[in-house]
């Protein structure tokens, strides 16, 4: 049977349990949430901005940011809006909330008050509750998205949407495999179906809420086809529950051609699979994440990584770019460093606003390759799910048909090993259990042999390690010292 839309009865009875999981959930009302969202002007609606950017062929910039206390968080967002000129704002949620550890988050709030500085790596929205969330969303002019990494984000979604946030990041795979250790896929996907239905409920009542599956996954040498397969599945899952504004993402790999090709392939594949599933009524936008792996500690070098990301994102026609900061190597940035990342990116995309990258045969080779790779896996996913992509994806991950490199989740096989070829494209060294066509495997092997030859060593695991740390050490490809 195909995974369908959650019925209203099911949705409501599950909701009763969800609201009981922390005191700030008690007494929340869907009707009041709708009513409040109805008062938010369209200029502060995230989905509206994404649609407008597509229509005007613009690329928007968004930082990541979140601190423990409400007033400090407001100051941070206001600073990024005015000094950083961010188009879209975030509220990054702290890691305790992401694991539903509200007690620990409460301790973090108390310790942050005592230390007069944030000791949490994000904003604990559930602990702060509805009214404080509204105080945040009312304090800025721009729309705000909730960004996190939460396998069970049901209460967080209920509180933040009623609190005036108009976009919600995550998904049953992308917020499980890279963000959890022991959460079953059945559970995380069911919880995310509920979140998507909540957003579908808002859509049913004319309130547009943007949804964004998390594209970069582990952010470390993730081959485009892995990210895109997950994006397509989570897109299908969201649209099934009535989501309309969907933003699919991809994290920068480092090679210009491969990155631009991945973004082109992402749009084409999403439309193809969404149509195949019978969806026509959706607004598809894309997000390009600047380099998610290790950063150079030197701030001048970090700026180079940042602007290169902005450049590639603009050339790839991303609807928005998620911006990094010169403090990335050291952890959570100051608001000033965060604004600097935005301004550096702004300069780059502004200089490219009139320029179009000609997409020639090499680009087309990579676009077609990525699409063929995704199709190989999707065919197997449909087969395993007896026609149902969502069920099939669970079976596929368990069987290693879909495998995310370097992920913490125990359900993930972790046998897929990527590394760079001689031109810095991410290729596959070990396919694990992925059922890839032989000619595609041969192409990858050939490309890796070329690199091995030019480095005078055999293809080996050391290359993977070298590649992981290459950018933080000043290069793209991890050459032998």
Partner 1 sequence: MGNINIVLGVIGFDCHSVGNKILEHFFTEKGYSVHNLGVMVSQEEFINAAIETAAPIIMVSSLYGHGEIDCAGLREKCIEKGLEDILLYVGGNLVVGKTPLEQVESKFRKMGYDRVFGPDADLEAVDSILRVDLKEKGFSL
Site for partner 1, residues 198 to 237, rule: CB under 8 A: 218, 220
Which residue of 124, 149, 172, 216 would you call a contact of partner 1, by CB under 8 A? 149
Q: How far apart are CA 271 and CA 280, in angstroms?
A: 9
Here the tokens at position 120 are 């949490």
Which residue of 130, 332, 342, 374 would you call a contact of partner 1, by CB under 8 A? 332
- 299-315 and 335-351 are packed helices; what angle lies between their axes, rounded to 10 degrees? 40
What ranges in 223-324 are assigned the alpha helix state H?
224-240, 256-276, 299-315
Here the tokens at position 265 are 């392939």
CB of 119 to partner 1, least distance (A): 6
E-strand ranges in 369-433 read: 417-420, 426-430
Q: How far apart are CA 336 and CA 473, in angstroms?
A: 24
Which residue of 25, 63, 164, 178 would you call a contact of partner 1, by CB under 8 A? 178
Residue (95 or 263) nearer to partner 1, CB:
95
- 180 and 412 in contact (C-beta within 8 Å)? no
Query: Binding of partner 1 at residue 121 (CB under 8 A)?
Result: yes
Per-residue DSSP letter, 395? H
Contacts with partner 1, 302-331, as mask; x by CB under 8 A: -------------------------x-xxx
Query: Binding of partner 1 at residue 107 (CB under 8 A)?
Result: yes
Which residue of 11, 22, 96, 102 would you call a contact of partner 1, by CB under 8 A? 96
Q: First and final CA of the chain: distance in angstroms?
A: 55
**Residues binding partner 1: number (CB under 8 A):** 40
CB of 118 to partner 1, least distance (A): 6
CB of 99 to partner 1, least distance (A): 5
Q: Which of 81, 132, 158, 169 is catalytic?
A: 169
Query: Binding of partner 1 at residue 407 (CB under 8 A)?
Result: yes
- Quick one: how far is CA 46 from the chain centroid? 16
Q: Is 197 known to be catalytic?
A: no
Q: Is 169 known to be catalytic?
A: yes
CB of 362 to partner 1, least distance (A): 30
Which residue of 24, 92, 118, 245 would you call a contact of partner 1, by CB under 8 A? 118
Query: Binding of partner 1 at residue 95 (CB under 8 A)?
Result: yes
What ranges in 118-215 are assigned the alpha helix state H?
125-138, 154-162, 185-204
In which region does residue 217 sit, left (phi positive, over 0), alpha (psi from -120 to 50) or beta (all else)? left
- 450 and 233 in contact (C-beta within 8 Å)? no
Q: How far apart are CA 413 and CA 405, in angstroms?
A: 9
Query: Binding of partner 1 at residue 167 (CB under 8 A)?
Result: no
Q: Which of 98, 314, 420, 427 is catalytic?
A: 98
- 246 and 282 in contact (C-beta within 8 Å)? yes
- Per CB under 8 A, residues contacting partner 1 are 94-96, 98-99, 101, 104, 107-108, 111, 117-121, 149, 178-181, 218, 220, 294, 297, 327, 329-334, 337, 406-408, 410, 461, 465, 468, 472
- Catalytic residue list: 98, 169
């Amino acid at each position: 049977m195909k995974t369908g839309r959650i019925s209203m009865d099911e949705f409501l009875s599950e909701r009763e349990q969800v609201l009981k999981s922390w005191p700030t959930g008690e007494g929340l009302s869907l009707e009041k949430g709708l009513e409040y969202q109805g008062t938010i002007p369209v200029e502060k609606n995230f989905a509206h901005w994404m649609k407008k950017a597509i229509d005007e062929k613009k690329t928007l910039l968004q930082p990541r940011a979140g601190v423990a206390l409400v007033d400090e968080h407001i100051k941070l967002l206001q600073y990024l809006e005015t000094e950083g000129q961010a188009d879209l704002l975030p509220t990054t949620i702290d890691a305790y909330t992401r694991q539903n550890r509200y007690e620990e988050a409460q301790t973090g709030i108390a310790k942050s008050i005592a230390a007069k500085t944030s000791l949490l790596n994000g904003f604990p929205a559930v602990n702060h509750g509805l009214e404080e969330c509204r105080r945040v969303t009312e304090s800025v002019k721009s729309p705000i998205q909730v960004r996190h990494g939460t396998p069970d984000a049901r209460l967080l979604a209920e509180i933040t949407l009623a609190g005036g946030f108009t976009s919600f990041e995550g998904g049953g795979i992308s917020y499980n495999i890279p963000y959890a250790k022991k959460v079953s896929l059945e559970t995380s996907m069911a919880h995310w179906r509920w979140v998507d239905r909540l957003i579908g409920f808002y859509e049913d009542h004319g309130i547009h809420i943007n949804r964004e599956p998390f594209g970069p996954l582990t952010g470390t040498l993730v081959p485009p086809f892995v990210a895109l397969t997950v994006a397509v599945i989570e897109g299908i899952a969201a649209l099934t529950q009535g989501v309309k504004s969907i933003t699919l993402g991809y994290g920068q790999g480092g090679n210009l051609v491969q990155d631009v090709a991945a973004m082109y392939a992402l749009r084409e594949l999403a439309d193809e699979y969404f149509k195949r599933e019978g969806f026509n009524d959706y607004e598809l936008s894309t997000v390009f994440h600047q380099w998610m792996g290790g950063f150079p500690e030197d701030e001048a070098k970090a700026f180079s990584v940042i602007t290169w990301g902005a450049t590639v994102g603009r050339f790839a026609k991303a609807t928005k770019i998620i911006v990094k900061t010169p403090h990335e190597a050291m952890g959570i940035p100051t608001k000033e460093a965060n604004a600097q990342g935005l301004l550096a990116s702004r300069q780059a995309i502004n200089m490219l606003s009139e320029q179009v990258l000609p997409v020639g045969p090499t680009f087309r080779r990579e676009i077609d390759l990525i699409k063929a790779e995704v199709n190989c896996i999707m065919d197997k996913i449909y087969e395993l799910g007896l026609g149902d992509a969502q069920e099939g994806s669970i079976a596929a991950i368990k069987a290693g048909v879909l495998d995310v490199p370097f992920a913490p989740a125990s359900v993930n096989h972790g046998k897929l090993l990527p590394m760079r070829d001689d031109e810095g494209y991410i290729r596959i060294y070990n396919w694990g259990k992925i059922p890839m066509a032989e000619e595609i495997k041969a192409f990858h092997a050939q490309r890796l042999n070329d690199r091995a030859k030019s480095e005078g060593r055999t293809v080996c695991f050391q290359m993977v390690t070298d590649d992981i740390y290459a950018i933080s050490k000043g290069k793209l490809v991890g050459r032998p010292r």
